[in-house]
């Protein structure tokens, strides 16, 4: 099973929404090198960063404003080193820019704090899965599930760990839990399609990939697997 699609972008968008509620985003520009209102400072920078599409690579195309905003988000991690949402924003940016080691460092700082932070655990476990460290990924998400049992993303990643180990019934059960907790149906359909494909049921897999595309027409992973199935050259999971 592939990693949970677009988790990093959903996390960064979720931060903007959450911060817009919990902190005023209309403060004057950041002028002081101090952590006087971490939520508001981050929202002031993260909202235009998202609005300009910087999180999907605009800055890599040479947009000076995106580079400036990204540098300001990085600065806030130094000014407010214990502020989990700021660390999370930096972790997401580093992950999106294919710097997993740097992302991991920010995530580990978050996860060392006493309270649970399931979004950080999801991304950290995702990185571990990409590195082939399945035991660590499962241990991390199971620890977080004990603390936050209703977080859909944790169950999705746990399903991925089972899929990698070919424990398909357990993967299906975890995906069912994730769906019941609010995970998008198109994403659940995609992962179920991968299970059916691995189980030798290409017709069922194709039906599920089509369902995923109906729910998210821009979901290229489902489109790719569907095309490969129809061509009889489905890639290995």
pLDDT tens-digit readout, 3-16? 444 444 444 433 33
Q: Is CATH 1.25.40 what the domain over 184-237 is classified as, yes or no?
A: yes
Q: What does the DSSP 8-state code read for residue 6?
A: T
Query: DSSP alpha helices (H): ranges in the chain?
Result: 7-22, 38-51, 64-79, 84-96, 100-111, 118-130, 134-147, 152-164, 168-180, 185-198, 202-215, 220-231
Angstrom distance (rounded) from CA 79 to CA 70: 14
Segment 103-120 shows an average pLDDT of 95
The dihedrals phi and psi of 97, each to the nearest 5 degrees, come to -95, 20
Structure tokens at 133: 């460290």
Other CB atoms closer than 10 Å to residue 14's CB: what's the count?
14
pLDDT of residue 131: 95
pLDDT of residue 34: 72
pLDDT of residue 9: 44
Res. 102: pLDDT tops 70: yes
pLDDT band at 232 (very low <50, low <70, confident <90, very high): confident
Res. 152: pLDDT tops 90: yes
> Which pLDDT tens digit goes with each residue over 160-170?
999 999 999 99
What are the residue ranges spanned by the domains of the chain?
A: 7-180, 184-237
User: What kind of architecture, by CATH, is found in domain 7-180?
Assistant: Alpha Horseshoe (1.25)
39/236: higher pLDDT: 39
23/147: higher pLDDT: 147
For helices 64-79 and 84-96, give the axis angle rounded to 10 degrees: 140
Res. 111: pLDDT tops 60: yes
Structure tokens at 34: 């101090």
> Which pLDDT tens digit goes with each residue over 23-66?
333 343 444 457 788 999 999 998 888 888 887 655 444 578 88
> Which pLDDT tens digit goes with each residue over 183-229?
999 999 999 999 999 999 999 999 999 999 999 999 999 999 999 99
pLDDT of residue 23: 36
């Amino acid at each position: 099973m592939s990693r949970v699609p677009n988790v990093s972008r959903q996390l960064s968008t979720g931060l903007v929404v959450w911060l817009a509620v919990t902190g005023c985003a209309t403060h004057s520009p950041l002028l002081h090198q101090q952590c006087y209102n971490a939520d508001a400072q981050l929202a002031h920078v993260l909202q235009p960063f998202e609005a300009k599409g910087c999180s999907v690579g605009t800055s890599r195309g040479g947009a000076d404003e995106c580079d400036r905003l990204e540098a300001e988000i990085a600065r806030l991690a130094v000014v407010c080193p214990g502020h989990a949402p700021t660390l999370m924003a930096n972790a997401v940016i580093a992950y999106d820019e294919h710097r997993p080691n740097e992302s991991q460092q920010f995530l580990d700082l978050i996860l060392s704090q006493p309270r649970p932070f399931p979004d950080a655990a999801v991304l950290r476990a995702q990185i571990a899965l990409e590195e082939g460290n399945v035991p660590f990924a499962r241990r991390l998400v199971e620890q977080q599930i004990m603390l936050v049992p209703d977080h859909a993303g944790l169950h999705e990643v746990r399903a991925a760990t089972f899929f990698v180990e070919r424990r398909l019934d357990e993967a299906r059960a975890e995906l069912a839990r994730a769906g019941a907790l609010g995970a998008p149906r198109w994403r659940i359909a995609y992962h179920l399609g991968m299970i059916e494909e691995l189980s030798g049921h290409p017709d069922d897999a194709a039906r599920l990939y089509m369902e995923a595309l109906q729910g998210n027409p821009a979901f290229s992973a489902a489109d790719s697997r569907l095309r490969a199935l129809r061509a009889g050259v489905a890639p290995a999971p």
